[in-house]
Amino acid sequence: MNISQFHVRVFGRYQRVLADITYRRVVKMNNRIPFISFTFDDFPRSALYTGGDILFRYGLRGTYYASLGLMNTDGPTGNIFVPDDIEKLLAQGHELGCHTFAHCHSWDTKPKTFESSILKNKLILSTLVPDADLSSFSYPISVPRPSIKRIAGKYFNSCRCGGQTYNAKAVDLNYLKAFFLEKSRDDIQTIKKLIDETCLNNGWLIFATHDISKKPTPYGCLPQFFEEVVRYSQDSNARILPVGKALEEILLKTNT
């Protein structure tokens, strides 16, 4: 490792620690059964038409974190959703979440700009789907700097990040842990072990990814891989729900 790689690594660790320990909104998890959620960042069309169809076939629903500023564009995660896709997503019972309007970097963006982008996403969505509600959020690109974590926490029931692990015992609603599937897309065993561990510890495992495609971008997965994860999750004793609904059940005093 050269000196600049060392600096990048140390700074990355500093960012993660700071994001973890500041502006926490910790609640106790009351669930007596494990939970799994499937989430997609950016809402590429393939996440709905391929990933969503796989979930739907298993009787499951996911959470799609959308930046309305990316609508109708082609991005690093593939073709992004068009307005009609929002209608289809909601009609199928999936959850629409917020990812800021402009897909703002969660560390480098000025807090005021970040906050405006959250509000703009809500506003533009309300012009497309008047009764839509965005109660779940995921941080774009990076772990949040503390001031951004504080702002996001004001507007949403939950804010999801990464961390490649599951939530257990207590959860920071401003910093839900998630596991990005594409980082282990050649290693299904790691994922199966994580599902087993989540079930053993009555945790909440939130999977995240972007596109689901036969030619996935570096940020996505193959359909057969994704389906294997869905099938293994379905065969576990976990309850599988979109983030908003899972959170409601996890926080209930008496859940099954």
Residues that bind Zn ion (CB under 5 A): 41-42, 140
Nearest-CB residue to Zn ion? Answer: 41
For the bound state, the minimum distance from the C-beta of residue 184 to Zn ion, rounded and expressed in Å, comes to 19
CA–CA separation, 203 and 230 (whole Å): 17
Q: Which residues contact 14 (CB under 8 A, 6 or more apart)?
A: none
Nearer to Zn ion, 42 or 85 (CB): 42
Distance CA 197, CA 173 (A): 21
Backbone angles phi and psi of 221, in degrees to 5? -135, 160
Instruction: Return the number of the residue (162 or 203) whose C-beta is nearest Zn ion.
Output: 162
User: Are the CB atoms for 40 and 62 separated by under 8 Å?
Assistant: yes
17 Cβ contact partners less than 8 Å away, ≥ 6 residues apart: none
Q: 245 by DSSP, 3-state: which?
A: helix
Residue 18, classed as helix, strand or coil, is helix
Q: How far is the CB of 47 from Zn ion (least distance, A)?
A: 11
Shortest spacing between CB 163 and Zn ion, in angstroms: 16
Q: First-to-last CA distance in the chain? A: 49
Rounded CA-CA distance 62/225 in Å is 16
Q: How far is the CB of 140 from Zn ion (least distance, A)?
A: 4
Cβ 103 to Zn ion, closest distance in Å? 6
Q: Rounded to the nearest whole angstrom, what is the least distance from the CB of residue 67 to Zn ion in the complex?
A: 7
Identity of the residue, 12 or 169, whose beta carbon is nearer to Zn ion in the bound complex = 12
Which CB atom, from 140 or from 153, has the smaller least distance to Zn ion? 140
Query: For residues 27 and 141, which CB has a smaller minimum distance to Zn ion in the complex?
Result: 141
Strand partners, 35: 204, 239
**Residues 243, 63: contact at Cβ < 8 Å?**
yes
- Output 70 or 250, the one with its CB closest to Zn ion: 70
